[in-house]
Amino acid sequence: EVQLVESGGGLVQPGGSLRLSCAASTFTFSSYEMHWVRQAPGKGLEWLSYISRSGDTIYYADSVKGRFTISRDNAENSLYLQMNSLRAEDTAVYYCAREASYGYSFDYWGQGTLVTVSS
Amino acid sequence: QSALTQPASVSGSPGRSITISCTGTSSDIGSYNLVSWYQQHPGKAPKLIIYEGNKRPSEVSNRFSGSKSGITASLTISGLQAEDEADYYCCSYAGSRPYVFGSGTKVTVL
């Protein structure tokens, strides 16, 4: 069974930084495009960022562009999200998600990691 | 990047059918037949139930079906069961953006 396990969430002050990790296992990580999606408490899903298999193509939602950086290490089977200049509105559960081999949808999700931005 | 529009809630009796709409624009749903749907139970991660508008992953029940007309996609759940009570989200590829989710619909089984 495909496994995606996020880590790195926690409480951070406004303006602070945090780095999320997503450890992938039981599939060939380097063969799949990956995404980050978040969900604020009691709210809907928000797509945040995409990275291609090799990492050479990256997209961001406007809400995080210039503050968040997605990256991957295929040798370590890991996906990352560096989050800087955090705001209260960034408080959410952050999910990593695998893009399906047939594309344009997310076939496996991690369990999520909670990021709370508060003073 | 405005969210796609879904009704906040839809309800139905066991065994009946319900349909959830997802309205976008000519830049997302209207331009691409690449809508996916996700089911999310409380405290759980979303689960893919429909991709490319009307295709089901092999492990998903055939009680779930998808369709599209113009800028509106729809998810139909037939033979409603208690386990279908959950939140449902649509998502569309949107070219340069490139993905946008719907606002979410809470399904209640009466």
* Residue partners of A31: CB distance under 8 A and separation at least 6: A53, A101
Listed residue (A49, A35, A56) closest to A98, CA to CA: A35
Is A101's Cβ below 8 Å from some Cβ in B?
Answer: no
Residue A76 has pLDDT above 80, yes or no: yes
Is B64's Cβ below 8 Å from some Cβ in A?
Answer: no
CB contact under 8 A, A104 and B1: no
Q: How far does Cα A63 stand from its chain's mean position?
A: 14
Contact A69, B16 (CB under 8 A): no
Contact B11, B105 (CB under 8 A): no
pLDDT of B96 reads 74
pLDDT of B2 reads 82
CB contact under 8 A, B99 and A109: no
| B54-85 confidence digits (pLDDT tens) | 999 999 999 999 999 999 999 999 999 999 99
pLDDT of B17 reads 97
Strand partners, A35: A50, A97
Residue segments in chain B with a per-residue pLDDT below the cut of 70: 1
pLDDT of B1 reads 63
| A10-59 confidence digits (pLDDT tens) | 999 999 999 999 999 999 999 999 999 999 999 999 999 999 999 999 99
Is the bond preceding residue B57 a cis peptide, omega within 30 degrees?
Answer: no
CB contact under 8 A, A105 and B102: no
Contact A7, A79 (CB under 8 A): no
CA distance A29 to B35: 24
pLDDT of A102 reads 83
